[in-house]
């Protein structure tokens, strides 16, 4: 069970990372091509917003490293912040943190993906 959970974690964090990259791509299309892509950007997040909760569960069941557990919790919390920065329009300074927070999400997701596959595949 723990090996299966660790592999599922690695697959899910990989998918999450790809979804984040796709989110940024849709935002770029919306800004530089046509605003129609804002709908795609807004809709896509609902496809992957729950992945961090599964990551937390699989990191525990898979007896993965503290980094895997903490990064999963961190990604979940950063997604909450992402929603807040997208929806608090009364304070533009906070809204301006939306892309900065996206960078943090992407960085943690990349590091967690790399780390999890090294852990699963037995790399040093």
pLDDT digits (tens, 9 = 90+) for 63-122: 999 999 999 999 999 999 999 999 988 888 999 999 999 999 999 999 999 999 999 998
Q: What pTM did the predictor assign?
A: 0.93
Over residues 35-40, the mean pLDDT reads 96
- What residues does each domain of the chain span? 2-121
The backbone torsions φ and ψ at residue 36, rounded to the nearest 5 degrees and listed phi first, read -55, -30
Specify the DSSP class assigned to residue 50.
T
Q: How far apart are CA 94 and CA 84, in angstroms?
A: 8
Chain CA centroid to CA 72, Å: 9
């Amino acid at each position: 069970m723990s090996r299966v959970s660790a592999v599922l974690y690695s697959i899910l964090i990989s998918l999450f990372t790809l979804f984040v990259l796709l989110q940024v791509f849709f935002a770029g299309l919306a800004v530089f091509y046509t605003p129609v892509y804002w709908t795609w950007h807004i809709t896509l997040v609902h496809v992957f917003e729950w992945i961090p909760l599964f990551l937390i569960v699989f990191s525990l069941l898979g007896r993965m490293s503290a980094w895997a557990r903490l990064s999963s919790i961190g990604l979940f919390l950063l997604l909450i912040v992402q929603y807040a920065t997208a929806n608090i329009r009364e304070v533009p300074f906070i809204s301006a943190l939306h892309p900065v927070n996206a960078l943090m999400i992407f960085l943690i997701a990349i590091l967690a993906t790399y780390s999890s596959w090294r852990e699963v595949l037995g790399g040093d």
